[in-house]
Amino acid sequence: MNRENFDVIVVGCGIAGLSAAITAQQNGARVAILERAPIDERGGNTRYTESFWRMKSIDAVSDDFVERFAANAGGWPDPGIVRDAVRDREDQPAVLRALGVIDPNLIATIAEEAPKALKWLSEFGIKFDHLPLYFLNQSTTRMGPIGGGLALVEALGGYVDARPEDMTVFYETAARALIQDDRGAIVGVTTVGPDNTPVEFRGRNVVLASGGFQGNQEMLTHYVGPQAQFVRPVSRGGHYNRGEGVRMALSVGAAPCGDFGSFHAQPVDPRAIDIEPVVLNYSYGILVNDAGRRFTDEAPGMVDATYEEVARLIMAQRHGIAYAVFDAGLDDVENWPVTVRSRVPPIEAESLMELARAIGVDARDFLATVEAYNGACPTSDGFDPLHTDGLSTTGLEPRKSHWARPIARAPFRAWPIICSNCFTFGGVKIDERARVINAEGDAIPGLYAAGEVAGIYYRVYTGATSVMRGAVTGRLAGADAALRRNAPD
């Protein structure tokens, strides 16, 4: 087996891996980056995302940042255990340090470090601004890099490419297992390269930044359930994320954290080959399953805060598909096309009967569904597509809470929608230095996790924080690993 030696080994070449690798190099380390994808597809999910950050300015995260994380911190933990979270980490009991809930110190660190990470990225020529969204309205503040995630990958990747004496990228190389010494410290990674060639990388520090397991159907079915067969990664980059980082860390005793049974869900057009082909106009119409029946409140609130839950309900339907149905009234919504990222035209018909046949649902049940919905719509005006307007149905189950208007005027349109997987939530627990914590509450020497490998989300994604998390945790890991390379054994 071939062997390579480095100070820091980074698994993954997205925002988390690149941030870790460059930060380590800037602090004097010699770095190896292991990337499963070929060079022209490096970057994982980051390459394909618009990379919004939940910030109100370049100097501060959004006002609701901590509040939203606290609302999704992890089930109903034992209050007799979590009450000790007010203590310093060294004084906390081991059962708390390893508990699968979000560490408030980590969230506070991300909030504090996000502006620093943004300014650090600006040193590579990246500019952030309040950019247009695919939402007509939003419930929080967001900023993003001009050029999206691809701009991040190209800028940071260009920096790496220009410094081959300090950083080497091994493309089409997938990590397989961590190497430990007889004291339990991580000292390297075994990998497989082109033609199934095994290569061993040795180093005192390993940063796992290889994404979640959205590209691994076996892991998805194991954790999410059989309906995962109807779910696909939202972008091409997600297909390279097959969960080895999470598995490797768990195999050496890492404490799990994050919601393994869930993921960041997005409603997309299954016909489209576009990047992230979301369909987010459904709140102005109705959603029916492939039996022609409604199954959820299409408008429980602002779309940017509720689409994830709706997407998961679509996954739960028979065959994992639904149809967003509209009449000519959709055109009353100014600029609605920005909410649909699919370039495949909708299915259109001049009558509801023709539309039912075109989308392949039971016509009788579909017509009955629309008739019941129309009869439950309010008679009063006041439709306001930019705000929750309270125009709700009456006596209908499930109700529609806002923007309820009859579907009666031709032409009629429908988009098929499936649930896609942007990234998985289940990962491993880290501290505010991005060190991986084991099941006994102790840091595993030499092992770090960044980005999606570090589990911090439960149930609902705190929107516009994923790339931010990757950049921050990557920088934390890279800085600590670089310091540790020269520390005494």
Report d(CA 99, CA 94) in Å as an integer.
8
Q: Which residue has 């980590």 as its token pair?
A: 106
* Per-residue model confidence as pLDDT tens digits over 125-184: 999 998 777 676 676 888 999 999 999 999 999 999 999 999 999 999 999 999 999 999
Q: Which domains does the chain possess?
A: 2-262+425-484 (3.50.50.60), 267-420 (3.90.700.10)
Label residue 61 exposed, middle or buried (CB < 10 Å: 0-12, 13-18, 19+): buried
Of the CA atoms within 13 Å of residue 192, those in its CB half-sphere come to 5
Q: Which residue has 């959205």 as its token pair?
A: 214
Q: Closest Cα partner for 106 from 458, 455, 485?
A: 455
* Per-residue model confidence as pLDDT tens digits over 3-48: 779 999 999 999 999 999 999 999 999 999 999 999 999 999 999 9
Instruction: Tell me the whole-structure pTM to 2 decimals.
Output: 0.94
Beta-strand relationship, 256-257 and 427-428 = antiparallel
Q: Closest Cα partner for 446 from 109, 189, 93?
A: 189
* Per-residue model confidence as pLDDT tens digits over 336-368: 999 999 999 999 999 999 999 999 999 999 999
Residues 229-256: b if buried by 16+ CB within 10 A, e if exposed: ebbbbbbbbbbbbbbbbbbbbbebbbbb
Q: Which residues contact 386 (CB under 8 A, 6 or more apart)?
A: 136, 137
> What pLDDT, on the 0 to 100 scale, is given for residue 137?
66
* Per-residue model confidence as pLDDT tens digits over 404-426: 999 999 999 999 999 999 999 99
> What pLDDT, on the 0 to 100 scale, is given for residue 161?
97
What tokens appear for 127 in the block? 């500019």
